[in-house]
Amino acid sequence: SAVISQKPSRDICQRGTSLTIQCQVDSQVTMMFWYRQQPGQSLTLIATANQGSEATYESGFVIDKFPISRPNLTFSTLTVSNMSPEDSSIYLCSVKTDWEGGTQYFGPGTRLLVL
């Protein structure tokens, strides 16, 4: 499996501000993903981050609100822009390994509260 870390682990932010979440993997992986898990809900895919190309966003998520960077094969960032209380959620990065049949492993998550 892959070892994944995220920073920050949690944050409390004011509405209208932005927060950048970092995701670091201990090995090179082709595909990284960003998910959101709202309180009491399951996981919703925000976007797929591929190194060397633009991120691919799912329906309901746009680049202006959730810009993503993927500068190399072990690192990605997700920015939550112009935050509102509705953005309060857990944000998770995951990686799809190039072995083990493409299984996805998740980072520990970033717990965001927007006031």
Q: How far is CA 5 from CA 22, 28, 64, 78, 85, in A?
A: 8, 14, 25, 14, 25
Measured from the CB atom, the residue of 13 and 45 that comes closer to another protein is 45
Query: Is residue 61 part of the contact set for another protein (CB under 8 A)?
Result: no
CA pair distance 103, 26, nearest whole angstrom: 16
Which residues are CB-contacts of 40 (< 8 A; sequence separation ≥ 6)? none
Q: Which of 45, 51, 57, 75 binds another protein (CB under 8 A)?
A: 45
Query: Is residue 107 part of the contact set for another protein (CB under 8 A)?
Result: yes
Query: Is residue 1 part of the contact set for another protein (CB under 8 A)?
Result: yes
Least distance between another protein and beta carbon 16 (Å): 28
φ, ψ for residue 70, nearest 5 deg: -145, 80
Contact segment (CB under 8 A) with another protein among 15-23, 36-44, 61-69, 79-87 equals 36-44
Measured from the CB atom, the residue of 8 and 102 that comes closer to another protein is 102
Task: List the structure tokens of 95.
Answer: 């990686």
Q: Which residues bind another protein (CB under 8 A)?
A: 1, 31, 33, 41-45, 48, 90, 92, 96, 101-109
